[in-house]
Amino acid sequence: MDNKYIITIARQFGSGGRAIGQKLAEKLGIDFYDKELISLAAKESGINPEVFESVDEKAANSLLYSLSMGLYSFSSGFSAMGDLPVNDKLYILQHKIIRDLAAKGPCVIVGRCADYILKDHDRCISVFIHANMEYRKTRAVEVHNIDKDRAEHIINRTDKSRANYYSFYSGQKWGLAENYNLCVDSSKLSEDQIVDLIISYLEIKDK
Amino acid sequence: MDNKYIITIARQFGSGGRAIGQKLAEKLGIDFYDKELISLAAKESGINPEVFESVDEKAANSLLYSLSMGLYSFSSGFSAMGDLPVNDKLYILQHKIIRDLAAKGPCVIVGRCADYILKDHDRCISVFIHANMEYRKTRAVEVHNIDKDRAEHIINRTDKSRANYYSFYSGQKWGLAENYNLCVDSSKLSEDQIVDLIISYLEIKDK
């Protein structure tokens, strides 16, 4: 199909959201951004990508910093971010990068509040992928090589961190259906079936 | 298509979920249950349907009543429900009716915790329909003839009541993506497009 959409994919840990996003981008022949957003942020700021990696999708610990002062200061460079925690710096950089990518053309973007950042974008479709705990535990063991006994703990910890990150920067609740255009339970369909469903969505929307 | 599924539809007030469910049932040529569940409950219990109507999708005010004592007492008739609030009686009756309907064959069921009641049913697909406030306000005025100035208040009050009902009887949070197999934002697609999307879902699942 002649896709013209930016598809954002938020996902519970172990739900396969990243893999679905990757397959979707391949099938549509468009760019895919997940960890790639860290490299882009590192490149744009000159900050070590390993520093960013350690705080990726984690909210800053302090609420003292007002985001608004940083978010709109890009035209004058990054000096205004000097005092912000590195989490906030990364968010602000990724915010700008996500908007720039969306302005350039169709792509798939995973996580990082992209649905919220592109909320008012005409051609953005936001997707949330989730699955029941049993499915995610099995997948965490098989795909992420996580120890079986620790899988549930790691899943819950990772999702809690993603939820905090999302709520810190968007003021919205992560995983609430109303924040996304389409939410799909990946324990009911295969990854390829979900890719087909998302493509159906785009085709139906264009009819 | 040769549909074999029971589709449950939960919906924010004003999102058009009921209309979508009705169109879906028509297109699939299967039965549709919304307010019809009240008549069935009234018929089964001999209680006045108007009494049930007044408490439909509303949680009981008291937490003192244990549901478990009532839920599994159907084989011995309804006498065990004598002391329960009418809300609980209606829930218990609808619980039984929904399970019986699902056992009979394909249909569309709107609201009333049907997704939760049929959670472990092999052929149940649970859908949640939501939309942004602007869309729902416009629809509330145009379709439900609600006064423009009171629309937002009525939407919030109705959704709060549905959320309480759902959480009271299911112990889960209403509107959380993970409680449904498919959630769709009806402000992004027309009602007919959402019907097509749900049918696509069923077709893809059967492939």
The predicted-structure confidence for A23-78, as pLDDT tens digits, reads as follows 999 999 999 999 898 889 888 888 888 888 888 888 876 444 444 444 333 433 45
Indicate the residue of B175, B193, B196 with minimum beta-carbon distance to A177: B175
CB contact under 8 A, A205 and B182: no
**B15, B129 contact by CB (below 8 A):** yes
Q: Interior CA angle at B164 toward B183 and B15, to 5°?
A: 35
Q: Are A185 and B180 a contacting pair at CB < 8 A? A: yes
Q: Is A52 on the interface with B (CB under 8 A)?
A: no
Provide, as residue numbers in chain B, all residues whose Cβ is less than 8 Å from the Cβ of A186: none
- Determine the residue of chain A that is closest to B10 in CA distance: A177
The answer to whether the Cβ–Cβ distance between B204 and A193 falls below 8 Å is yes
Q: What are the chain A neighbours of B115 within 8 Å (beta carbons)?
A: none
pLDDT of residue A79: 52
- Cβ contacts of B167 within 8 Å, gap of 6 or more: B59, B173, B174
Q: Which of residues 123-152 of B touch A (CB under 8 A)?
A: 125, 128, 130, 132
And the tokens for B141? 């005025």
**How confident is the prediction along chain B (207 residues), in pLDDT tens digits per residue?**
777 999 999 999 999 999 999 999 999 999 999 989 888 988 888 888 888 888 888 887 644 444 444 433 343 345 556 678 888 888 899 999 999 999 999 999 999 999 999 999 999 999 999 999 999 999 999 999 999 999 999 999 999 999 999 999 999 999 999 999 999 999 999 999 999 999 999 999 998
* pLDDT, position B79: 52
Q: B175: which chain A residues are within 8 Å (Cβ-Cβ)?
A: 176-178
pTM of the full structure: 0.90
Contacts 24+ apart (CB under 8 A), B134-137: B134/B187, B135/B14, B135/B15, B135/B186, B135/B187, B136/B12, B136/B13, B136/B14, B136/B15, B137/B14
Could you count the other beta carbons within 10 Å of the beta carbon of residue B36? Answer: 14
Phi, psi torsion values for A128, nearest 5 degrees: -125, 125
Q: What is the pLDDT of residues A140-191, one digit of tens each?
A: 999 999 999 999 999 999 999 999 999 999 999 999 999 999 999 999 999 9
The H or E element containing residue B199 is: helix B191-206
Distance, CA of B81 to CA of A72 (rounded, Å) = 61
Q: What is the ipTM of this complex?
A: 0.89
> Nearest by CB to A176, which of B175, B189, B200?
B175
Binding-face residues of A in 12-31 toward B, CB within 8 A: 12
- Contact (Cβ atoms closer than 8 angstroms) between residue B110 and residue B34: yes
For residue B180, list chain A residues with Cβ-Cβ distance below 8 A.
177, 183, 185
| Class in CATH terms, B6-206 | alpha beta
| pLDDT score of A70 | 42
The answer on pLDDT for A199 being more than 80 is yes
The token pair at B16 is 């058009």
**pLDDT for the residue B126:** 98
Domain boundaries, chain B: 6-206
Q: What is the pLDDT of residue A84?
A: 81
Is B176–A177 a contact, with Cβ atoms under 8 angstroms apart?
yes
b/e map of A98-123 (b: 16 or more CB within 10 Å)? beebbeeebbbbbbbbbbbbbeebee
Average pLDDT over residues A128-136: 98
> Parallel, antiparallel, or unpaired for β B182-185 and A182-185?
antiparallel
Nearest by CB to residue B176, choosing from A125, A176, A205, is: A176
